Amino acid sequence: MRFAVLREFVLAGVLVGSGIAIGCAPPASPARAPAGGADPIMSVAAGAYAGYAVLADGHVWAWGDDLEGQIGDTGPWSSRTVPAEVQGLSGVISVAGSGNSAFALRRDGEVWAWGDDSEDQLADGRFTDRQLPGVVPKLTAVREIAAGAFTVYAIRDDGTVWAWGDNSFGQLGSGSSGQMPTVPQKVVRLTDVVAIRSGTSDAYALRADGTVWVWGDDSLDQLGGAACGSAPAGHHGVCAGSAVPNQVPGLSGMVAIAAGGDSGYALRRDGSVWAWGDDEFGELGNGVRRFDVGSPVRVRGLHDVVAITAGACSAYALLRNGTVWAWGRGDFGQLGNGSISEERVPVRVKGLTGVVQVVGGGSTVLALERDRSPWSWGANAFGQLGNNSVVNRDLPVRVLGLPGSPRPGKTQPDARPAG
């Protein structure tokens, strides 16, 4: 019963594969079909340099970098500054973006993958980039997916976690590091998992009992004080990480998790946010200047948080009132507050209200408002803001060209007022 209750509490608001858990967010207004009868946008997701949108009809659209084929069509392997439809996919309920790959979860529990395959993250044994989506073999009954830089995770209906791709730091959670299996492997020690997230080379799992479990790289204390292996040769005092999951000490009653580049985050049922790991740019949000912290600390000044997500070196919280708050690195405008300065305590993202989903990817952020309008801000060198430009933005701008959204044009005002 405890598993069922917390699972429903979390999954009721989790936009799976997006790096965001809505948790106890206020109910959104019913999704309305945009003008012209197009299907509304149900969720957004972000990779390191690309964005994705899942429509109510189960189709996926993508924009941004396409160097490794992560846009998912047969067009030129070049950046797209406005969305294009991913080909060969239907029945999709969520998408997860990674370094330069993408993964889609279908209603039938299958996972499909495309893009970069340098670490066999497409699970086809070919190590060859692929433009068009293909099914991940020997994996069924999946209900949530997440992706790190080169490693992918899936939660099955029985609460177990499966992983594939890079295992340099033991991030597959199989008890060993280095060896890469050609098919998804079961992560050991984990049952009753309700949410999964991944940083660069580490992974985080939330169990139904409200505890958080971590494994993989710990070079910047991103395992949160959990047990780790012996230090690499010549690096005395440095934790090598762990090839098996261990519980993060001091965390209980958690309802959502998030992962940045090398930082971990957890949302407690009381609406407080806790963080640990790399703090070079203020990613821990407690106003104290450190480089890394091995025990969870409370993010300062946040209350009534219902969702959390993170980018490469920044983090974001969605409050019950529909506003978004950000902290950490800001040099690409990824804090959305009109500046390019880092912030060691949360600041409000300007111009957004009624937000129901926010996702971080690299140094770019996407948000979905209650009326299903998509917004973006931050880095844009590859067109990953989807606003028909390659100019970074420090305030939210409208993603253009999705079905039912404004078409790109010189006279289209895409910037949200700063107030």
Helix (H, G, I), strand (E, B) or coil at 355: strand
Query: Which are the contacts of 152, defined by CB distance < 8 A and separation ≥ 6?
Result: 96, 98, 101, 103, 113, 121, 123, 136, 145, 146, 163, 164, 165, 198
Q: What does DSSP assign to residue 299?
A: P
Q: What is the pLDDT of residue 11?
A: 30
Cα–Cα distance, 121 to 116 (Å, whole number): 7
Task: Give the separation between CA 388 and CA 376, rounded to whole angstroms.
Answer: 12
- The sign of the torsion formed by the CA atoms of 145, 397, 378, 385 equals positive
C-alpha span between 183 and 200 (Å, rounded): 21
CA 342 – CA 347 distance, rounded (Å): 10
Average pLDDT, the chain: 88
10 Å Cβ neighbour count for 303?
A: 11
Find out whether 242 and 170 touch, Cβ atoms under 8 Å: yes
**What pLDDT was estimated at residue 229?**
55
Residue 286 identity: N
Could you tell me if 199 and 220 are in contact, meaning their C-beta atoms sit under 8 angstroms apart? no
- The structure tokens listed for 414 are 């895409």
Please state the domain extents for the chain. 2-398
| One-letter amino acid of 96 | A
As a dihedral over the C-alpha atoms of residue 111, residue 115, residue 121, residue 124, rounded to 10 degrees, the angle is 70
The whole-number pLDDT of residue 414 equals 64
User: What is the spatial distance between Cα 308 and Cα 155, in angstroms, rounded to a whole number?
Assistant: 19
- Within 10 angstroms of residue 318's Cβ, the number of other Cβ atoms is 29
Q: Model confidence over 18-28: pLDDT tens digits?
A: 443 323 333 33
Q: Are 19 and 312 in contact (CB under 8 A)?
A: no
* Cα 401 to Cα 62: distance, rounded to the nearest angstrom: 11
pLDDT of 201 above 50: yes
Q: Which amino acid is at 242?
A: S
Q: Give the pLDDT band (50/70/90) at residue 405.
A: confident
Q: Which two tokens stand for residue 300?
A: 């300062």
**Assigned token pair, 88:** 């060969």
Other Cβ atoms closer than 10 A to 321: 11
**pLDDT tens-digit profile of 326-366?**
999 999 999 999 999 999 999 999 999 999 999 999 999 99
Specify the pLDDT at position 181. 79
DSSP 176-241: --S---SS-EEPTT--SEEEEEE-SSEEEEEETTS-EEEEE--TTSTTTT----PPPTT-TT----
> How many C-beta atoms lie closer than 10 Å to residue 366's C-beta?
31
Domain 2-398 class, CATH top level: mainly beta
Indicate the SS3 state at residue 11: helix
Tell which wins on pLDDT, 227 or 323.
Answer: 323
SS3 385: coil
Distance separating alpha carbons of residues 214 and 223, to the nearest angstrom: 6
Q: Which helix (H) or strand (E) holds 113?
A: strand 111-115
Residue range 238-279, pLDDT digits in tens: 567 899 999 999 999 999 999 999 999 999 999 999 999 999
Query: What are the backbone angles phi and psi of residue 384, rounded to the nearest 5°?
Result: -75, -5
For residue 239, what pLDDT is reported?
61
Mean pLDDT of 371-392: 98
**pLDDT tens readout for residues 31-90:** 444 444 578 999 999 999 999 999 999 999 999 999 999 999 999 999 999 999 999 999
Catalogue the E-assigned strands of 65-117.
Answer: 80-85, 92-97, 101-106, 111-115
Per DSSP, what are the bridge partners of residue 415? 397
pLDDT at 24 (0 to 100)? 33
Distance (Å) of CA 122 to CA 45, 183, 196, 330: 18, 9, 19, 32
Cβ count near 216 (within 10 Å): 30
